[in-house]
Chains A and B, each alone.
Chain A
């Protein structure tokens, strides 16, 4: 069955960096779009970024553009999110999700990993 497992979250100081990973299994990873979403404590969902199946196309929300970088390694069935210049408002649970098409970017989600930005 489809499984997505995020890792790499934790406590980081403002201005610091963190790299999230998402390990995929149960499907042909290289056939699918992949996305990152987040949810701040007690708040709603926010789309952050998506990457095409080949990795050639990437889009970002303005809130993270220039600070976060999405990438994938199809040989390792893995998705990544490099997060730099972290701010307190980046504190959230980060989810990776699979997308069938660019308009169906969240048909399966991981369990999430918590990122806390605090001094």
Chain B
């Protein structure tokens, strides 16, 4: 199975900050990398697919980059509604594994 490792596991930031979350795959996954946002008690929300393609309706302050084994999710200017947990997921092959999550908290 492909192991996905996110860093950091948690992050404190302020409204307006630029934040970056990293996801590393245990082997090359080309660009088959998705990002999700999850708020407490809610279902995940699909943010980015194929490493850098923004899902329809997702604000442009979210962006993704990377290919191969190293990927990043960047939020250019944090908004109050962005405080949540973020997960990366590889869709290169089954089982479609997730990172352990990055909890983004208000500083």
Contacts and interface: CB of A to CB of B under 8 A. Distances in A.
Q: Do A and B bind each other?
A: yes
Interface of A: 37, 44-47, 50, 59, 61-62, 95, 102-112
A105 B91 contact: yes
Interface of B: 1, 32, 34, 36, 38, 42-46, 49-50, 55, 87, 89, 91-92, 94-101
A104 B34 contact: yes
Interface majority SS (helix, strand, loop, mixed), chain B = loop
A115 to B, nearest CB: 15
A47 B46 contact: no
A61 B32 contact: no
Contacts of B100: 44
A103 B32 contact: yes
A94 to B, nearest CB: 11
B91 A104 contact: yes
Given A45-B98, A103-B32, A103-B49, A109 B89 contact: no
